[in-house]
Amino acid sequence: MKRLFDILVSLAGLLLLQPFFVVIAILIKMDSAGPVFFRQQRIGRNFTRFIIYKFRTMVVDAEKNGLRITSRGDNRVTRVGRSLRKLKIDELPQLINVLKGEMSLVGPRPEVEEYVKLYEQDYTEILKSRPGITDVSSIIFREEEVVLKNQIDPEWYYKKILLPEKIRLSKEYTKNSSFLYDLKLVLTTIHKIFYPPAIRYNAYSQKMGQNSFKEN
């Protein structure tokens, strides 16, 4: 049922959003030089490599001129890109990945090979499932860029604090996943995009790695 749901929703989404995609493409091309889509290799189900699609939100060759992660205020992000990232519109082309069977609507977020290798044993369990466009960590860490902005070493903080917590949440998801749970996560994701809560961020406990995000 999960795969059938993925196919029907991704196909319907791609058809219905075509006019919107055209508008986004025009805005991206008007704003900065470069392709409309950003393509990057990620690690998928059973450690299979695939190319993920996003609307380009950064200048060309951004990865060659900075970190793989992005903090709020990163000067590599374009003007249009800031809006696309804030509303998570840049993720919509991943409906193509879902239709192709490389991703699911809901599942652990796919990472680059560099980060997967850091926690390969954990990913052996996680990657029994298809990676997804959204999951629990996508909702909890919706303002991840703000958190990273406040760190002295954002990349260290991501690798040692945020990523282990994402892995923990991904493991929980793989154990508790169901069609109704997936549907709830999709609806929650949409709600959070249009009605984001006021969130204050406390530093993660580096010793315990516990989530201290609190919604007002």
CB 135 within 8 A of CB 177: no
- Strands 213-215 and 49-55, bridge-based pairing: unpaired
- Chunk the chain into consecutive blocks of 10 residues (it has 216) and report each block's average pLDDT, rounded to whole numbers: 93 96 97 95 97 95 80 89 92 97 96 95 95 93 87 92 95 90 91 67 40 38
Tokens of 178: 């169901």
Q: What is the residue whose two structure tokens read 């991704």?
A: 10
Residue type at 178? S
Tokens of 121: 């044993």
Measure Cα distances from 146 to 45, 70, 171 in Å.
Answer: 29, 9, 25
Cα separation of 196 and 121, whole Å? 34
pLDDT value of position 198 = 52
pLDDT value of position 66 = 76
Domain map (residue ranges) of the chain: 2-215
Q: Is 135 exposed, middle or buried (0-12, 13-18, 19+ CB in 10 A)?
A: buried
CB 182 within 8 A of CB 2: yes
pLDDT value of position 197 = 63
pLDDT value of position 68 = 79
